[in-house]
Structure 1
Amino acid sequence: MNDLNLPDDEKGKRPHKKSSFLLEVDAWIDSALYDSSFQAAQTWEDITIFFRRFRPYGLNRAIFEIAGETMTLVMAGMIVMLALAIPSSREIAQNWRDQEQFAVTFLDRYGREIGQRGILHTDAVPVEDLPDHLIKAVLATEDRRFFDHFGIDAMGLVRAMTENVRANSVVQGGSTITQQLAKNLFLSNERTIERKVKEAFLALWLEANLSKQEILKLYLDRAYMGGGTFGVGAAAKFYFDKDVRDVTLAEAAMLAGLFKAPARFAPHINLPAARGRANEVLTNIVQADFMTEGQVTGARREPADVVLRASTESPDYFLDWAYEEVKSFIVENGIPTRSVVVRTTIDTDLQRAADEAVQFFLRKHGQDYNVGQSAMVVLERNGAVRALVGGSDYGVSQFNRATAAERQAGSSFKTYVYAAAIDHGLTDETVIADRPITWRGWSPQNYNRSFAGRVTLATALARSINTVPVWITRDHLGGTAPVVEMARKMGVESNIISHHTMVLGTSGMTVMDQATGYLSLASGGIAGLRHAFTQISDLSGEIIYDRRRAPETGTRILEQGKVEMLNRMLVNVTEWGTGRRAALEGIKVAGKTGTTQAYRDAWFVGYTGNYAAAVWYGNDDYTPTNRLTGGRLPAMTWQRIMEYAHANADLVPLAGVEDSIPAASEEEAVEVAEEEAQNGLARRLVLSEESVRFLFALEEKLAATEPLAADQQQLASRTR
């Protein structure tokens, strides 16, 4: 209704009432908020006054402050440790108990027994049937409070730290038997904080899910005891030729002494050291109050003797890897039996030569180059794994650096880049400018900090130029995806991170993967051939699987012509490039060197028509070597083992490689030599006979002296 139609005394009354009501509501809200805030403040003041009665002062306050901060740090540490331990849940999520069911006897390629893995023929002896003095010897030496702790022994850790500080060296370890079992069951021997955190959580999990008797039994059955044996039962049979139930106190002490360092104290190798260690175990038994001195005196006076055996070397690193391959094959193919005999691909003579080659160069040059570890894998053209070296000493460390360690590949990864480039239409004669490039803020440099201008792909690969594969990946391949895809096709299983820097080998790769990838070129572009065994049979002799009846044909990943082009390019590396030390007399070798930042990793990966092999040198703790490059020890080791492998072999030519390859031009060869001279190295060049003689003399001088000073390098360069 319009106000104009209302009487004068009624006009404006309705809006006035409405505004009055709103004012009342606003006043009520303001009042309510004020009263609430006042009441809350009053309540908080009352609470504060109440709790002031409990406020500590003086020394008590300091104690409470420290306790509070400590609790905060402990909670933060537990959260961090929990985050680090999450990956360990993947291990226990698997049906790990099935591992107990496998019993595998391994034969070499010729049918000779070379070792066993799993719970084997001796059948694991129940803990209650083992001699009491054996149990006491093990517990006194490895974990005296085994039946008292919950998987982690804080008191034992403090005691070990105290003894180590007192002796100013590591004389005792703080790991419990449960922690050691967790490592044996689920983890590797790699010394990292992450592994120790996983080990601690897995130890707690084992204690929560297994009885002490079960934990002790698993530990005694699975520990490496030297001589290629696992478990006290197999060790008693190997060293004393008797059932473990019948071992004497002296023999039990010798067995218990093997857990710490089986290679150093193995009695069939060093009996005096084994007896000395057994005497320490007897002392431990007395100190732990498990026996009196009088009870162990007889064992001290008449130490254990061992059965004389021929010196046999078991290819333990290979057997560890082959055991996992066999288990996976049996499970995936639904084979019901778990006790099998497996004929492997290992060639024991070639394996012995591979071990010798690694040991030779580590002993001769390891200290000079500050390098302590090496790994190698040798594959035959048909994919058979003929030799595998997982480290310098299996007895000291069972961590398999050939199959488990992913180390940066350096320039040896460039082969996968060039393979992708050739597959996408480029050729060895394609010209790319070696010039500065910036890709997503990354500006890679060449080794000698200079640029060569326009070069062919063949020259860029032989000289290991860094910028060219980056230009190829960014501008010709459209990114790193084709490179990753090519590496996968070539058989690489390592976790290659698709980042633009991986073009120069920043991603980690295993030695096994490197050998497998290059094998696909040696075999003419066929991938998927690698295998560890050729036959599986049950204990009655019935054949379950025979690869020779249905050989794998593999998968073609590159056309024949493209493989031949890559072969010619990689042969240049050993003819006049960075890998000349890998050259074999009368045999064409294709391959690639690799050296990572700060000289942490050095590689040579190469192949002939008969074999492919990868060699790595480095340190477990990732400390830099003393300027070790892939063209030095890795190439020399590769050359040494390949000379042995090709002796009296029926040589298979490399596809597309002529018997005689044109040598590099004088200018190209000199440029390569000058780049290497900056590292204090002089290598064999395809030059005149007089130049070759001069460079060999210079090389001998460099090997015996410190790297050349800058003025000496320039003088040598001008002389050449």
Structure 2
Amino acid sequence: MNVLNKVRRLVIPILMLVVVLMIGVAITLTKYVTDASKLDLSKLEEPLPKPTVIIDKNSEVVSELSSARFTYVQLSDIPEEVIHAIVAVEDQRFFDHSGVDVRGIARSAWRNYRAGSVVQGGSTITQQLAKNLFLTSDRTYSRKFQEVVTAYRIEREYSKETILELYLNQIYFGEGTWGIQDAANIYFGKDVQDITLTEAALLAALPKAPTHYSPFQNEEKAKQRRDLVLNLLYNQDYLSKSEYEQAINEKVHLRDWELEGLRGKYPSYVDYVIEEAISYGFSEEEILTGGLNIFTHLDPAVQEAIETAYTTDELFPVNSGDELVQSASVVVDPYSGGVRGLVGYRGNHVYRGFNRATQLERQPGSAIKPLAAFAPALESGISANVQIVDRRLDFNGYSPKNFNDRYQGRVSFYDALVHSINVPAVVLLNEIGISAGFEFLQKSGIPLHQEDRNLSLALGGLTNGVSPLQMAQAFSMFPNLGTVNEAHAIKRVTSSSGEILFEAKREKVQVMKPENAYTMTQIMMGVVEEGTGRNAALNRPTAGKTGTTQLPSTSAFQGVSGARDAWFVGYTPELVTAVWVGYDKLDPNHVMSSTGGNHPAKIFQAIMSEALQNTEVRPFQKPVNYQDDFKNNQSKEKEQKEKEKEKNEKELKEKAKDDRPGKGKGRNQNRGRGNSRN
């Protein structure tokens, strides 16, 4: 009896708990069903994504991300190849299930297991239509349940043909494009009625991950995904073996001309905003259709100054072949890290194409010297008034050369940087230790590889390279007295109703002492005033550094003169600007005749003159109690050099007088003969 009582005391609470849980589940499911049942299915026929707007630093709307332009096509006008391809890859049993395909989910799981990756999803076309139109992208059980309920409702109210037509006209295909007609146009420059089998397979390959598989972004990945779709068509008996083999051997052919149509203002900046927003967790689809308000650091005056410069061909090197000399520029506010403007290409814009302003990786050449050698040398305690060795040296097999192969024995810290002399930069890095320069660069935000721990670091010999954005960010420490603010475009993102979805909280790093940062600015003002960057001079305080990388020393470039990359990174008290110029591909037929002090410095000058034309001239910020010893020493040194120069010129003139014909007879003639013998 006691045993039965104990059992009852244990079982009854468990049964009560189960009943409570079942009631809770029932109530929850009832709520989900009720909520899903309230959805207005008539909106299926009016799919208009809300445009996202870009807001500048002045809180003004300056650009719109809208792809709400749908070109609707009837199902009867869509080729069978497209329909077959979409059904084969997205929902093989579309015409057999009632909105949710349990068998399809199991089959997809098995095929994904065999393939070693996700090649098919479990959601049906009807479920995707429900998700895309009504529900959030949250991966929760409640959202999935609502999707299932809505899919069943859609199947009851619409025919299979209508569902497929709605889906094909509304699904996102990447490159800011919705609908099969606009996708055919954006990728192939064709109407959907005119596309081929392989083009149909490529379009069907995109909805799974439009950005990842976009052929404009990565043609090889797009082709692999396309061939997988063709294989599914073959396995599902839509293609014969010969048709399949012929199709997979076809190359990807994309349109190679610019389409007419509005992409919005400031395309390079907008591309970077999208790139940055995606890094914060937003999907491209959310960004383009979510009706978001994206608040940015964009300054229209700066952006338009850059875009004006990039339409002025005279500022750029003449093409040495059939390819356009490319370029990219970034302007950053050193006190906030805000990207005020950027352009990442010359020529035609491709939506979310390769953005050289932010994605480029090129060696910076001598533009790295302030960051890799001179600034860390000051931080290590070396005086800016020191004289540095300048002669041919060998550092355990590494023998740096000056550009003109001329050496002065010793040069001042100032002259070594102002005139961009190579050997002194390497000497400095060797003296302070490679680790000191390496760590200084890392703190500045310059990405490095472990193999970069060598003395060529002082001259920009990096394994991977840098982007203009990274260089602008790193140089921002100098006008900001040693502090680097992480460069970024977006301040915050809100919903259409004003709810804050994201707010930037960027790091700032004190890289060097304010006094040393100001000293570096004084030296780099000399680069613009009397050194390699004179073409960058403005009618206001300006500092900066040039950089040029040489052609490879391979047999292919023997006898070929020119440069691979040319840089100018400069700044005023208000803004920092990095400019890169070069070819995308390097071969003997595409060689640039320029240096960092030539075209990049001129581009900098054009951008900054326009951007700052209505800005009051002011000096660089000076640290409290800063001692002008360096400046005074430089002034004295210059005065001494001028005096020596005048003295030498006077002696040369006197000598020239003595050497004139008819001079030197009598005693003078005899004295001259005696000296010549000595």
Residue 109 of structure 1 pairs with residue 66 of structure 2: no
Residue 131 to residue 578, structure 1, CA distance change in 2 (3 Å) = closer
CA 1:211–1:430: 2 relative to 1, 3 Å: farther
Provide the alpha-carbon RMSD of the alignment: 4.3
The DSSP-based 3-state class of the residue aligned with 1:454 is: strand
2:167 to 122, 126, 134: 126
Query: Aligned partners of 1:396, 1:134: CA distance in 2, in Å?
Result: 14
State the partner residue of 1:647.
Answer: 613
Count of residues paired in the alignment: 445
Aligned residue for 1:564, secondary structure, equals helix
Q: How many angstroms does 1:364 deviate by?
A: 6.4
In the alignment, what sits opposite 1:342? 294
Map 1:605-616; keep pairs closer than 5 Å.
605-616=569-580
Question: What residue in structure 2 maps to residue 604 of structure 1?
Answer: 568
Find the partner of 2:331 among 352, 361, 378: 378
Q: Matched residues in 1 for 2:281 and 2:467: separation?
A: 24
Aligned match of 1:220:
none
CA distance in 2, matches of 1:487, 1:472: 15
**Aligned partner of 1:628 among 562, 585, 594:** 594
Give the superposition deviation at 1:656: 4.3
1:517 and 2:474 are equivalent in the alignment: yes
Helix, strand or coil for the counterpart of 1:106?
strand
Residues 420, 363 of structure 1: alpha-carbon distance in 2 compared, 3 angstrom cutoff: closer
Separation in 2, partners of 1:352, 1:433: 45
Q: Check the 8 A contact 1:615/1:637 in 2, yes or no.
A: yes
User: 1:385 Cα shift?
Assistant: 0.9
Matching of residue 593 in structure 1 with residue 646 in structure 2:
no
For residues 363-382 of structure 1, give each alpha carbon's deviation from its aligned partner in whole angstroms, at most 9, with x where no partner exists: 76434798611100011233
Distance in 1 between residues matched to 2:65 and 2:605, nearest whole Å = 32
Matched, 1:457 2:413: yes
Alignment of 1:260 with 2:287, yes or no, is: no
Contact 1:182 1:202 in 2 (8 A): no
Calculate percent identity across the aligned residue pairs.
26
**Equivalent in the alignment of 1:252:** none
Superposition deviation, residue 319 in structure 1: 1.4
The 3-state SS of whatever aligns with 1:383 is coil
Moved more, 120-129 or 496-505: 120-129
Residue 452 of structure 2 aligns to a residue in which SS? coil
Q: For 1:668 and 1:618, how far apart are their aligned partners in 2?
A: 38
Give 1:553 shift.
7.5
Match of 1:400 in 2: 355
The TM-score with structure 2 as length reference comes to: 0.57
- 8 Å Cα contact 2:391-2:407 kept in structure 1: yes
Deviation at 1:552, TM superposition (A): 5.8
Superposed CA offset, 1:15-42 (max 9, x none): xxxxxxxxxxxxxxxxxxxxxxxxxxxx
Q: In the aligned structure 1, how far is the partner of 2:379 from the partner of 2:497?
A: 50
- Per the TM alignment, residue 354 of structure 1 is displaced from its structure 2 partner at its CA by 0.4
Give, in whole Å, the separation in 2 of the partners of 1:366 and 1:458.
Answer: 33
Alpha-carbon contact 2:317-2:325 (below 8 Å) kept: no
For residues 324-473 of structure 1, the aligned pairs below 5 Å read: 324-330=275-281, 340-361=292-313, 365-367=317-319, 372-381=325-334, 382-395=336-349, 398-417=353-372, 418-473=374-429
1:185 is the counterpart of 2:212: yes
Q: Is the 8 A contact 2:181 2:192 kept in 1?
A: no
In 1, Cα distance between the equivalents of 2:325 and 2:208? 27
Structure 1 partner of 2:511:
557
CA–CA distance in 2 between the matches of 1:119 and 1:207? Answer: 29
Secondary structure in 1 aligned to 2:477?
helix
Rate the CA distance shift 1:455–1:314 in 2: closer, same or farther, 3 A: same
Contact 1:570 1:592 (8 Å CA) reproduced: yes
For residues 210 and 478 of structure 1, the distance between their equivalents in structure 2, rounded to whole angstroms, comes to 62
| 1:652–1:142 CA distance, 2 compared to 1 (3 A) | farther
The answer to whether structure 1 residue 145 and structure 2 residue 145 are counterparts is: no
Letter matched to residue 441 of structure 2: A
Distance in 2 separating the partners of 1:360 and 1:177: 41
- State the alpha-carbon separation in 2 of the partners of residues 546 and 582 from structure 1: 36
Cα distance in 2 between the residues matched to 1:637 and 1:107: 27
**5+ long unaligned stretches in structure 2:** 1-48, 71-131, 134-165, 171-178, 236-252, 552-562, 643-648, 650-678
Distance 1:364 1:376, change over 3 A: closer
Cα distance in 1 for residues equivalent to 2:546 and 2:391: 22
CA distance in 1, matches of 2:573, 2:611: 12
Query: Is the CA contact 2:582–2:592 (under 8 Å) kept in the aligned structure 1?
Result: no
**Separation in 2, partners of 1:513, 1:211:** 48
Q: Which moved more, 1:395-404 or 1:197-206?
A: 197-206
User: 2:484 matched to 1:527?
Assistant: yes
Change beyond 3 A, Cα 1:385–1:141: farther
- CA drift of 1:119 comes to 7.1
Q: Distance in 1 between matches of 2:422 and 2:598?
A: 19
> Which one-letter code corresponds to 1:593 in the other structure?
T
Aligned to 2:74: none
Do the aligned partners of 1:106 and 1:344 also contact (CA within 8 Å) in 2? yes
Distance 1:536 1:626, change over 3 A: closer
Corresponding residue of 1:566: 520
Q: 1:144 to 1:313 in 2, by over 3 A?
A: same
Code of the residue aligned with 1:389 in structure 2: it is V
Q: 1:133 to 1:350 in 2, by over 3 A?
A: closer
Give the counterpart letter for 2:295 in structure 1.
R
Question: Could you tell me whether the CA contact under 8 Å between 2:269 and 2:342 is conserved in 1?
Answer: yes
- SS of residue matched to 2:399: coil
Residue identity opposite 1:260 in structure 2: R
Contact 1:571 1:589 in 2 (8 A): yes
Give the distance between the partners of 1:462 and 1:579, measured in 2 at CA: 8
CA distance in 2, matches of 1:636, 1:363: 6
2:443 to 481, 486, 489: 489
Cα separation, 2, equivalents of 1:621 and 1:110? 39
Q: Is the 8 A contact 2:438 2:453 kept in 1?
A: no
Summarize the Cα distance change of 1:555–1:349 in structure 2 as closer, same or farther, 3 Å threshold.
same
Q: Distance in 1 between matches of 2:320 and 2:393?
A: 36
How far off its partner does 1:140 sit? 5.8
TM-score, normalized by length of structure 1? Answer: 0.54
Aligned residue for 1:691?
none
Using CA pairs under 8 Å that are at least 6 residues apart, name the structure with larger relative contact order, 1 or 2.
2
Q: Does 1:315 align with 2:342?
A: no
**Deviation at residue 647 of structure 1 after TM alignment:** 1.5
Task: Provide the C-alpha distance between the structure 2 equivalents of 1:138 and 1:105, rounded to a whole number of angstroms.
Answer: 29
Per-residue CA deviations over 1:173-229 (Å, capped at 9, x if unaligned) read xxx885999894357958xxxx654554454567789999xxxxxxxxxxxxxxxxx
CA contact (8 A) 2:317 2:594 kept: no
**2:333 aligned partner, one-letter code:** E
Distance 1:591 1:132, change over 3 A: closer
What residue in structure 1 maps to residue 535 of structure 2?
Answer: 581
State which of 538, 541, 549 in structure 1 corresponds to 2:495.
Answer: 538
The worse-fitting range, judged by mean Cα deviation, of 379-388 and 611-620 is 379-388
